[in-house]
Amino acid sequence: MSEKAITVYDIAREAGVSPATVSRVLTNNARVSEEKRVRIEEIIKKYDFEPNGLARSLSKQETKTIGMMVPDIRNPYFSNIFIECEMVASQYGYNMILCNTMNDLSSELSHLKNLCEKHVDAIIQVGGNADEIRPDEEYVKLINKTAKKMPVVVGGEFPGAECYKVYTEKEHGMKELINYLLSCGHKKVNLVGGRNTVIPTVRKRESLKNCLKLHNLELADELIIDCKYDIDGGYAAMKQLLSSHNLPEVIIAVNDQVAMGILKACQEMKIKIPADISLVAYDDTSFSEIATPQLTSVNYNLKMHSEKMMKTIIDIISGSETEKVKSVDTYLTIRESCQNILV
Amino acid sequence: MSEKAITVYDIAREAGVSPATVSRVLTNNARVSEEKRVRIEEIIKKYDFEPNGLARSLSKQETKTIGMMVPDIRNPYFSNIFIECEMVASQYGYNMILCNTMNDLSSELSHLKNLCEKHVDAIIQVGGNADEIRPDEEYVKLINKTAKKMPVVVGGEFPGAECYKVYTEKEHGMKELINYLLSCGHKKVNLVGGRNTVIPTVRKRESLKNCLKLHNLELADELIIDCKYDIDGGYAAMKQLLSSHNLPEVIIAVNDQVAMGILKACQEMKIKIPADISLVAYDDTSFSEIATPQLTSVNYNLKMHSEKMMKTIIDIISGSETEKVKSVDTYLTIRESCQNILV
DNA sequence: ATGAAAGCGCTAACAC
DNA sequence: GTGTTAGCGCTTTCAT
């Protein structure tokens, strides 16, 4: 594809200095006489020389690359996190390798091994096994082994993983949500979506029960409905809900996608949101704004979540102390999908 | 962070062979006696040894990494392309470095330089300067310099770039679209969105004029409206359109986002799609299905587009001949956003 | 089949 | 300040 690339040796020869001196002006971390520095810089410019990053990485034992694993970057939740992380990364001179596991365990395993072999400077994982109540044992072992070699930070509770964690605290947002719903005159709530093997879902369910209890309200188990985390899941769940029960009063969807599915089902059934049913979502991704009506949604504070994860990495790499476990609060974004039935 | 990593030398010593032999079983491309192979493999397993990919890359002059540059991965158009590319990449043992340029030229430049220094095995760029009628000169120079060192494939026409190109042929989809609209009884079309400096937009405009001409129809220039490529852009353009003209008959939106904005504006103005106005979009991303009504949209065939880009790279790397320029056809996906006014 | 040795291209410790 | 030299950890001729 190309002629021989030019190296520090070539530059050194032409400048009449040693490769070490060239390296010194390249890394800029040792004094070089003004005269030689200028001479070397000119030759570098002349040939448009760029040092081989691979060789540098091998020598310095750092790649300036961070690996990130997510289930599916098409999900706005993950692409938002990625963007925020990448921004911080760029700031510190890092690139991101992005791996999509598509919720496939073997893919998760192989990507992790791969990032390891590539000697990325750190690994971030969001979703997948990091959110499982009972993560795959082999995977946990691999994470722990990896975490001994490099900074690993996960965006979830990840039971059993001995690495840095930044998880989302659901309590605050849920409290805001319940207060808001009560202030709108609602008392009966359905929680739609997810399954009991996924931590964020479990936390939402627990947290909802707790918050209701504070107001002496109960959440009957049959008001909690499992479904897949996507639009189809929400659609199917809602169809079922509409056929077998009398009309729900308020529905909390486990994420924006499920809410979109619920919305779709309602439209088909000529049910008006929020006039007939109030709807609240979780995630507050771009979907919340796109939807009609715009969704009231619990915001995950992804910017802060991402920044905390990246900050953790930067801290570890720079040798600063940093807490093993951090959390990020959620909060409520009120839009149009709930009705005040008191007025 | 960790104790000294184990190397081929350690394995070699313990197995009583030379590092070369260990390397031979690692790369599996030379015969090694069954006896030693087994012995070496056992020791590798015992220590869970994994060769340092950096060292391997430096030696073999290949990183098994592909760099991808897009404006913003949160845009489903790009995340879909990324996913499809990554799938092919994984199949061939490649990872992807993802760079978001956020439509910022200096970021585009620095990311490109960076990928170069990291010695990725190939670079894919979609959007950004690759879609500009008049790309930045410095950037074109850098692309051309880069293309001499490694395979560079862009997903656009990219004037001046001397690299591999896979662009989208707008003609076919537009023909299908016009035929469909005519069959629905429509003759007057507005084209909303984009600007004349962006190639795909220009091609759509040209192509629309051409297709109409085939049916002896004209597209008056005032029926073409510029606007930003996002939801806000579509929203603003539609508000303007609704205030200054009489009601449009059919609107073609330059992409799904703009269509979403148009939809939003219509809802606010109590204008029914498709009853009052028919709407067609471009991109056919997940937005098209999410929207209410679901959007009839011209599909870009992103899977094929991505596969052609990846195939180009694989071909070049494996030394096969491959065409410098390829194209992908578009086609129409009919959903609910157009009304047949003949019935 | 296998080992010795020379790279790959850079950085950093050491000596002057 | 600057050059010498020894890595970083793997692959790959070239002998044998």
Q: How much is the pLDDT for A3?
A: 67
B231 and B311 inside one domain: no
Phi, psi for A154 (deg, rounded to 5)? -115, 150
Q: How far is the CA of B40 from the C1' of C1 (A)?
A: 15
**A304 touches B at CB < 8 Å:** no
Question: Does residue A196 fall inside a structural domain?
Answer: yes
Same domain, A195 and A276: yes
Chain B residue closest in CA terms to A66:
B97
Q: Judge whether B264 lies within some domain.
A: yes
Q: Which residues 46-85 of B interface with strand D at a CB distance below 7 A?
A: 51-52, 54-56, 58-60
Residues B211 and B294 in one domain: yes
State whether residue B311 is helix, strand or coil: helix
Residue-wise pLDDT tens digits, B162-182: 999 999 999 999 999 999 999
- Asked whether residue A123 carries a pLDDT value surpassing 70, the answer given is yes
pLDDT at position B311, please? 98
Q: What is the pLDDT of residue B213?
A: 95
Checking each nucleotide's C1' against the CA of A27, the nearest proves to be C11
Our measurement of CA A109 to C1' C11, in angstroms, reads 33
CATH of the domain at A249: 3.40.50.2300
Q: Is the Cβ pair B72, A80 closer than 8 Å?
A: no
Residues B242 and B157 both lie in one domain: no
Does residue B80 have a pLDDT over 90? yes
Per-residue burial over B203-231, b = 16 or more CB atoms within 10 Å of its CB, e = otherwise: bbbebbbebbeeeeeebeeebbbebbbbb
Q: Tell me the average pLDDT across A329-335.
A: 96
Residues B83 and B29 in one domain: no
What pLDDT score was predicted for residue A269? 93
Instruction: Evaluate if residue B107 carries a pLDDT over 70.
Output: yes
B160 touches chain A (CB under 8 A): no
A231 touches chain B (CB under 8 A): yes
Q: Is A58 on the interface with B (CB under 8 A)?
A: yes
Q: Which nucleotide is nearest to A61 (CA to C1')?
A: D8
Residue type, B90: S
Bases in strand D with any atom closer than 7 Å to a protein CB: 1-5, 7-13
β-partners of residue B282 are B298
B27 & B88 share domain: no
Residue A102 counted as domain residue: yes
- Which pTM does this prediction carry? 0.96
pLDDT in tens, B309-337: 999 999 999 999 999 999 999 999 999 99
Q: Assign A244 a pLDDT band (cuts: 50, 70, 90).
A: confident
- Strand pairing category for B325-329 and B224-225: unpaired
Identify which of A1, A58, A97 has the shortest CB distance to residue B58: A58
pLDDT over threshold 70, residue A1: no
C-beta atoms surrounding A1 within 10 Å: 9
**What is the pLDDT averaged over residues A193-201?**
96
- A174 and A290 part of one domain: yes
Q: Is residue A89 part of a domain?
A: yes
| Mutation site, A98, A113, A120, A123, interface B, largest B CB count within 10 A | A98
pLDDT bucket at B3, cuts 50 / 70 / 90: low
Cβ–Cβ below 8 Å for A149 and B82: no
Mean pLDDT of chain A: 95
Q: Tell me if B308 is assigned to some domain.
A: yes
Instruction: Give the integer Cα–Cα distance in Å for B309 and B85.
Output: 8
Flag whether A1 is in a domain: no
Contact between the CB of A19 and strand D at under 7 Å: yes
**Interface touch B264/A58, C-beta < 8 Å:** no
Q: Decide if A95 and B118 are in contact by the 8 Å CB cutoff.
A: yes
According to the model, what pLDDT value does residue B240 have? 93
Place of tokens 């490649």: B94
Reported as a single tens digit per residue, the pLDDT across A295-319 is 999 999 999 999 999 999 999 999 9
Encoding tokens for residue B129? 């300067």
Beta carbons within 8 Å of A270's beta carbon, 6+ residues apart: none
Q: Is the pLDDT of residue B2 over 80?
A: no
Local confidence band at A292 (pLDDT 50, 70, 90 cut-offs): confident
Q: Last residue of some domain: A16, A43, A59?
A: A59
How far apart CA B11 and CA B64 sit, in angstroms, is 24
Q: Looking at residue A26, what is its pLDDT? A: 96
Mean local confidence (pLDDT), B9-29: 95
- Tell me which of B118, B145, B230, B303 to substitute to probe the interface with A (most A C-beta atoms closer than 10 Å): B118
Across the range B19-35, mean pLDDT stands at 94
* Among B95, B221, B103, CA closest to A66: B95
State residue B122's pLDDT score. Answer: 98
Strand D reaches within 7 A of the B166 CB:
no
Q: How far, in Å, CA of A255 to CA of A299, rounded? A: 10
pLDDT at A245 over 90: no
Q: Which residue in B2, B55, B95 is closest to A58 by CB distance?
A: B55
3-state DSSP assignment of residue A122: strand
Residues A87 and A153 reside in one and the same domain: yes
Nearest C-alpha in A relative to B260? A290
Asked if A198 and A125 sit in the same domain, the reply is no
pLDDT, tens digit (0-9, with 9 covering 90-100), for A73-109: 999 999 999 999 999 999 999 999 999 999 999 999 9
Pairwise CA distance, residues B45 & B37, whole Å: 12
- For the segment A29-46, the average pLDDT, to the nearest whole number, is 95
Confidence bin at B263 (pLDDT 50/70/90): very high
What local confidence, expressed as pLDDT, does residue A2 receive?
Answer: 60
Q: pLDDT at residue B30 above 90? A: no
Per-residue flag: A341 CB under 7 A of strand D: no
> How far apart are the two ends of chain B, measured CA to CA in Å?
73
Q: Does A19 share its domain with A71?
A: no
Residue A50 lies in a domain: yes
Is residue B245 scored above 80 in pLDDT?
no
Which residues in chain A have Cβ-Cβ distances shorter than 8 Å to B73? 73, 79, 82-83
Would you say residue B139 lies in a domain? yes
Q: Are residues A287 and A249 both part of a single domain?
A: yes
Alpha-helix runs per DSSP H in chain A: 8-15, 19-27, 34-47, 53-60, 76-91, 105-117, 137-149, 171-183, 199-214, 231-244, 256-268, 286-290, 302-317
As a whole-number percent, the residues of chain A with pLDDT over 70 amount to: 99
Q: Does A167 touch chain B (CB under 8 A)?
A: no
Residues spanned by the domain of A196: 170-300
| Amino acid at residue number B339 | Q
pLDDT band at B160 (very low <50, low <70, confident <90, very high): very high
Number of domains in chain B: 3
One-letter amino acid at A199 equals I
Asked if residue B293 and residue B188 are part of one domain, the reply reads yes
